[in-house]
Structure 1
Amino acid sequence: MSLVCKSQAIVLHLTKYGDSGLIVHVLDSRLGRRGIYLRGIKKSKNSAVTAHFHNLALLEVVTASSTKSKLLYLREYHPLVQLHSIRTDISKGAIALFVSEVIYRTLREESGDEELFKWLKGMISTLEALEGNCANFHLKFLAGFCRQMGFLPHDNWSEQTPLFDIISARFVSPNSSHDSGYLFSEQDSLLLHRLLSADFNKAMQIPLNAKARNSFCDQMLKYLGYWLDTSINIRSLAVLHTIFA
């Protein structure tokens, strides 16, 4: 007996399944991170359909579930919006790949989180509409994502407490007894403070070079990994490093 569910979904990742099938890994608004089986999608007559399942695609889906499998089975789908610039702009495409992988590797298969889903939809719409330089987008995303996941960095930065401590999620004094292996550098700490306190437009205007972006991104992934009690290896990070070098 199958249970049919109508919901919204954010596409995260595609994997092959059998000779002609695909598994679309999504974040479902009601069911959380799940895999949806697409039968026969790799056949030539259906090849154009895969374009609808690009990274961060927003879809309305009707799926069926079975007690015999964790997979959902796609009954029908419709794009909620057309994300033209994310699909065609190289920089935005690289960001979409990174954001999708972060979501895929940090969220477990469990019930949906409507507030997180709503926030992610907003971030996707912001990326699509963004004009000009988007090189800081993934940095602002990571800071906001930690907040949405419940790992809120406490923004108590000051000249007396200029170092961010991963374990306490607070800015601390250089003379404190905190483990130096879990402290951001002064540069990364100041950038975190600026990203937490700035609105989106101001965050995009923070002048940064590639080295600063890469260092901050690595530290934020370490912060996420600590609070999730796992090691987070984001393969697409190398693509971002190349694009925004």
Structure 2
Amino acid sequence: MKFFMAMTMFLVTLGSFYDCKSTMLTHLNCIALRTVKYSDRNNILIAYSREMGRVALLMSAGGSREAVRRRAVTMPLTPFECIADVRPGRDIYNVREPRALLPLHGLHSNPVKGAVAMFMAELLGAVLTESQEDAALYAFLVDSVGRFDSMSRGVANFHLAFLYRLGRYIGIEPDVSTYAPGRVFDMVDGTFRSALPLHRRFLPPEDAATVALLSRMTWDNLAAFRFSRNQRNSILTAILEYYTLHYAALSGLNSLDVMRRLFD
């Protein structure tokens, strides 16, 4: 009898040990994408992290001072760090000590920049679906947000340049080495062609030239590119069509209509 009691106590202790070992407090560097309602007490924050790729984090939805602070720290496109309680078999992680990594005064106080951030965060939420780390992609996102926050000229072109440059990190950057005046842009394989492809997903020479033009955009020269609202919206439509060809989930963006009305 004593033997069986001792064995039972041993197994309980061993189980507790492994439960403890299965919990891993992990430091995450993230960029906030979107928040969805989970319950009356909690929301789920979808974020992209340097360490784990896309993650879902449980955040308080209450009205306490700490809950309000956490929501401010995790507004769309805000880079932040936190401690996540990562456990095997769980897809949503509890969070401790979230803290903003960049003071985004411009992004949070400027309604135009805030609207662009909402659009970009929604698009990234649809595109960045992999739960695997990509330090280069994360660094690009944080650098882009920081530059956009401090940007005073060329704001209207930021989303166009951002989407073009993002293509490099997700494997769909157009091959501008194949460009020449008069060629069409094949959106299926991302190359420029002298002859029409056998499908209809291509841009005519004038629009193809704009794709090549986007490749020359940098964060420092955005203001030098002059587009009307109609031109900018046409470019955005083409970019979204290109993305949609490679990411089927990219459709019905709620913030797209706002983006189309933002800039003159």
Q: Given the two structures, how large is their TM-score scaled by the length of structure 1?
A: 0.91
Q: Determine which of 77, 80, 84 is the counterpart of 1:63.
A: 84
Structure 2: how far apart are the matches of 1:95 and 1:86? 9
- Kept in 1: contact 2:102–2:146 (CA 8 A): no
Q: Displacement, 1:223?
A: 1.1
Assess if the C-alpha contact under 8 Å between 2:127 and 2:250 holds in 1: no
1:151-190 equivalences under 5 Å are: 151-155=172-176, 156-161=178-183, 163-173=184-194, 176-179=195-198, 181-190=200-209
> What displacement does 1:61 show?
1.0
Shift of 1:37: 0.2
- Check conservation: 2:244, 2:250, Cα contact below 8 A: yes
SS of equivalent to 1:103: helix
**Counterpart contact for 1:106–1:232, Cα < 8 Å:** no
Q: Deviations over 1:151-177 (max 9, x none)?
A: 12011322232x21101211123xx24
CA distance in 2, matches of 1:20, 1:46: 13
Residue 17 of structure 2: aligned partner: none
TM-score by length of 2: 0.85
Q: Is the 8 A contact 2:161 2:217 kept in 1?
A: no
Structure 2 counterpart of 1:48, from 68, 74, 91: 68
Aligned partner of residue 85 in structure 2, secondary structure:
strand
Cα separation, 2, equivalents of 1:25 and 1:181: 35
The offset of 1:229, in angstroms, is: 4.5
- TM-fit CA distance, 1:132: 2.6
- Which of 150, 167, 173 is the matching residue for 1:129? 150
Instruction: Output the CA distance in 2 between the equivalents of 1:200 and 1:191.
Output: 17
User: Tell me, what secondary structure is at the counterpart of 1:75?
Assistant: strand
Give deviations 1:30-80, integer Å, cap 9, x for gaps.
1111110013x3234445321221111111111012234200110222111
1:226 pairs with one of 245, 248, 256 = 245
CA RMSD of superposed structures (Å): 1.8
Matched to 1:168, the amino acid is D
Q: Is the 2:157–2:223 contact (alpha carbons within 8 Å) kept by the matching residues of 1?
A: yes
- Residues 14, 23 of structure 1: 8 Å contact kept: yes
Identity %: 22
Give the counterpart of 1:203 among 222, 234, 253. Answer: 222
1:14-33 alignment, distance < 5 Å = 14-33=35-54
Q: Does 1:35 align with 2:56?
A: yes
Cα distance, 1:22 vs structure 2: 1.2
Q: How many residues align?
A: 241
Q: Take 1:215 and 1:179, find their aligned partners in 2: how far apart are those partners?
A: 23
Where in structure 1 do 4 or more consecutive aligned residues deviate above 4 Å? none
Do the aligned residues in 1 keep the contact of 2:147 with 2:219 (CA within 8 Å)? no
Q: CA deviation at 1:193?
A: 0.7
- Tell me how far apart the structure 1 counterparts of residues 230 and 93 of structure 2 sit (CA, whole Å): 42
* Structure-2 residue corresponding to 1:83: 104
In structure 1, the partner of 2:213 is 194
Partner amino acid for 1:85? G
Larger Rg: 2
3-state SS, counterpart of residue 181 of structure 1: coil
